[in-house]
């Protein structure tokens, strides 16, 4: 008969062997799984390292790009500042040009006014020239009349003096200033040397008197013109002859009051 214990032992040994195989298989499976996990982790680590390297390169490129952008931004800022400065200078130049244009416009306006004034003055000068020509013609005519009057005066002086006719100059006499006589003055006592007014020339403000070298009268001597007790004024001898002299009326003399025949005496 078979021993029941042997059977049990065999069964137990078989179970132990099966369990061992199972454990060994499980261990092998665990090792294989751990290996796969380790390999997977290693691959993942490699991938992470690769990604880190890529990220590093990207970061480096990003930093380089940022530096380049900052450099470009700096250049752009400098360009903007330079452009702003040029714009400011152009504005100043434009303002100066506008000011210069305004000044030139004012100068043109002033020159226009000066030109208009010059044209007006030219017209006025032309009118004055015409007037001067007219006055010259009138003066020429007056000179001819004066020459005729001169001849008549010389003839009259000749008749009054009874001797050779002295030449009476009709040029206008220029005399020095003499203080005006205030009103009529009382005549002084009669002088020894005295004569009369013979001719009055109101055009040239001189008279011819009957006093000359023979009466002791000299060139530049002043004479008084008297009528009654009133002194009408003074004259200054400019031309001298033997019995006659031509004397210029001094300022203050009552030219319109003098008449032929008034008394003349030396001062």
The string of DSSP letters for 164-185 reads: SPPP---SPPP----PPP-S-E
CATH superfamily of 168-266: FlgT, C-terminal domain (2.40.10.410)
What is the reported pLDDT for 150? 64
Q: Is the pLDDT of residue 185 over 70?
A: no
238 vs 38: CA distance, rounded Å: 154
Q: pLDDT-based confidence at 42, cuts 50/70/90? A: confident
Give the tens place of pLDDT for each residue, 150-178: 666 666 666 655 544 444 443 333 333 33
CA 210 to chain centre: 67
- Structural domain spans, the chain: 1-133, 168-266
Nearest Cα to 218, choosing from 266, 264, 255?
266
- Counting residues of the chain whose pLDDT is more than 90, the rounded percentage is 24
What is the reported pLDDT for 226? 93
237 vs 188: CA distance, rounded Å: 20
137 vs 190: CA distance, rounded Å: 48
Q: pLDDT-based confidence at 205, cuts 50/70/90? A: confident
């Amino acid at each position: 008969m078979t021993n029941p214990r042997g059977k049990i032992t065999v069964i137990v040994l078989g179970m132990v062997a099966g369990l061992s195989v199972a454990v060994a298989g499980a261990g092998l499976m665990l090792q294989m799984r751990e290996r796969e996990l380790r390999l997977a982790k290693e691959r993942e680590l490699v991938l992470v390292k690769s990604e880190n390297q890529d990220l590093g390169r990207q970061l480096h490129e990003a930093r380089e790009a940022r530096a380049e952008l900052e450099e470009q931004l700096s250049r752009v800022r400098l360009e903007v500042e330079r452009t702003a400065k040029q714009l400011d200078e152009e504005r100043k130049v434009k303002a100066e040009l506008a000011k210069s244009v305004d000044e030139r416009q004012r100068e043109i306006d002033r020159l226009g006014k000066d030109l208009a004034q010059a044209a007006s003055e030219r017209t006025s000068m032309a009118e004055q020239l015409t007037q001067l020509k007219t006055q010259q013609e009138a003066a020429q005519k007056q000179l001819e009349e004066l020459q005729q009057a001169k001849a008549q005066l010389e003839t009259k002086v000749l008749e009054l003096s009874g001797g050779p006719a002295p030449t009476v100059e009709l040029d206008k006499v220029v005399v020095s200033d003499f203080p005006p006589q205030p009103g009529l003055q009382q005549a002084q006592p009669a002088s020894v040397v005295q004569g009369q007014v013979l001719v009055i020339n109101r055009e040239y403000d001189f008279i011819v008197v009957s006093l000359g070298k023979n009466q002791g009268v000299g060139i530049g001597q002043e004479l008084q013109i008297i009528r009654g007790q009133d002194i009408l004024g003074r004259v200054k001898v400019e031309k001298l002859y033997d019995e006659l002299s031509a004397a210029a009326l001094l300022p203050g003399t009552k030219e319109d009051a003098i008449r032929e025949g008034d008394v003349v005496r030396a001062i």
